[in-house]
Amino acid sequence: MTRPAPVGLDPATHAWLLRHALPGARLCEVDPLSGGFTNDMTLLTVRPAGAPGAERYVLRRYRPHSGRVPRNACAVEVAVLARAAARAVPVTAVVAADPHGRATGRPTLLYRFMEGIPLSQVLADGPPSGTARELGRAVGAVLARIGRVRLPRPGAFAGPSLVPAPDGTPALGDLPGFVDRCLATATDGALDETDAAVLRALARRGGRALAAVADDRCLVHCDFNPKNLLVERRAGRWEVAAVLDWELAFSGSPLFDVGNMLRFAHEYPPAFTAGFVEGFRAGSGRLPGDWLRISRTLDLFALADILTAPPDPAYFARTRVVLHRAAAGRY
């Protein structure tokens, strides 16, 4: 007799899991995971065939996307994870994928659940200076490893070969144009006219910064911030356990990720930022003399998207503070 699919799983996905991805296993628990703003995430507790204990996996189901920022298809994300892992970047282990949704009805990825504490939680707890610096060094070293993944040219990935489009089309386009598109499609009441003018002015001033990194062709995570990093203590030291959520990755400058990580640096212990820069440099991450200005300029792509279509009021308020700090030159 065929067992019914658990609540939260449709019959096609249930069948794919137990016949292809985890043959012979038994699903014990199916729980939704928070934080999946663009895709559906589910935590599975599974008892493998012939094994005494239970194991946990994450099921990622991709939704159709038509937003301003390009998002990688399932097959591309699998390829990115493999390329990053080859450079000793700690990432989730892919178990199975249905990249075109032929079996499940939607592009689907299954990977092992990673143990660890979100870096955002550790920083929010106010770690002492020594711990903050150690965390920063570990994070900076991992980002340097990501930047050592070199690609044929800059741009958004055209497919799982991770070769960007031949015309070298950037992943996000020109900054002033991107800001104008965001403002033209902004959520009602998201940003007032004064703040919109500030955002436009910052974008117009960013031309030199963008030109300085236009030819960079390194792997960029593009959402490299504390909520997407899991950390844990190993042998008495803090290390990065996993870098999560690679759906925005593209080929470009590592300074995109530097700007992303330091977006809310004014909220973190100063020792974390100092350690982050130390770890990045020690891992052979290249930082030009005006790296802070360039990274802040590159982060305007993300700020424009967040401020005109905020995920929630609290995050909007935090990001608006960053906008005003940037306008005042308070980095």
CATH (domain of 150): 3.90.1200.10
In a domain, 179, yes or no: yes
Q: Which residues span the domain enclosing 265?
A: 117-327
The tokens of 8 are what? Answer: 């939260």
The residue with tokens 């390829």 is: 79
Q: Tell me what percent of the chain is helix, strand and coil, each rounded to the nearest 5.
A: 40, 20, 40
Do 137 and 80 have their domain in common? no
Q: What is the pLDDT along the chain (331 residues), one digit of tens a residue?
A: 455 566 568 999 999 999 999 999 999 999 998 765 678 999 999 998 777 889 999 999 999 877 778 889 999 999 999 999 999 999 999 999 999 999 999 999 999 999 999 999 999 999 999 999 999 999 999 999 999 999 999 999 999 999 998 765 566 668 999 999 999 999 887 899 999 999 999 999 988 888 889 899 999 999 999 999 999 999 999 999 999 999 999 999 999 999 999 999 999 999 999 999 999 999 987 899 899 999 999 999 999 999 999 988 999 999 999 999 999 887 6
- Residue 68 DSSP label: S
Contact 83, 73 (CB under 8 A): no
pLDDT at 35: 64
Do 27 and 150 have their domain in common? no
Q: How far apart are CA 19 and CA 3, in angstroms?
A: 13
pTM equals: 0.93
- Bridge partners of 47, per DSSP, are 26
pLDDT at 276: 98
Do 295 and 212 have their domain in common? yes
pLDDT at 52: 80
In terms of Cα–Cα distance, which of 111, 326, 93, 109 is closest to 201?
Answer: 326
Contact 158, 164 (CB under 8 A): yes
pLDDT at 192: 92
Range list of β-strands (E), 132-226:
218-220
Number of domains making up the chain: 2
- Bridge partners of 118, per DSSP, are 230
In terms of Cα–Cα distance, which of 260, 267, 244, 249 is closest to 297?
Answer: 260
Q: Are strands 39-47 and 55-62 parallel, antiparallel or unpaired?
A: antiparallel
pLDDT at 1: 42
Do 60 and 106 have their domain in common? yes
Radius of gyration for the alpha carbons in the chain, expressed in angstroms and rounded = 21
223: helix, strand or coil = coil
Instruction: Report the CATH number that the domain containing residue 40 is assigned in CATH.
Output: 3.30.200
Calculate the alpha carbon distances from 68 to 15, 178, 219 in Å. Answer: 34, 8, 20
Do 317 and 223 have their domain in common? yes
In a domain, 62, yes or no: yes
In a domain, 256, yes or no: yes
Do 270 and 303 have their domain in common? yes
Do 124 and 214 have their domain in common? yes
pLDDT at 168: 54
In a domain, 20, yes or no: yes
Q: What is the signed CA dihedral for 279, 280, 281, 286, rounded to 10 degrees?
A: 180
In a domain, 5, yes or no: no
Neighbours of 167 (CB within 10 A): 7
Do 179 and 322 have their domain in common? yes
pLDDT at 303: 95
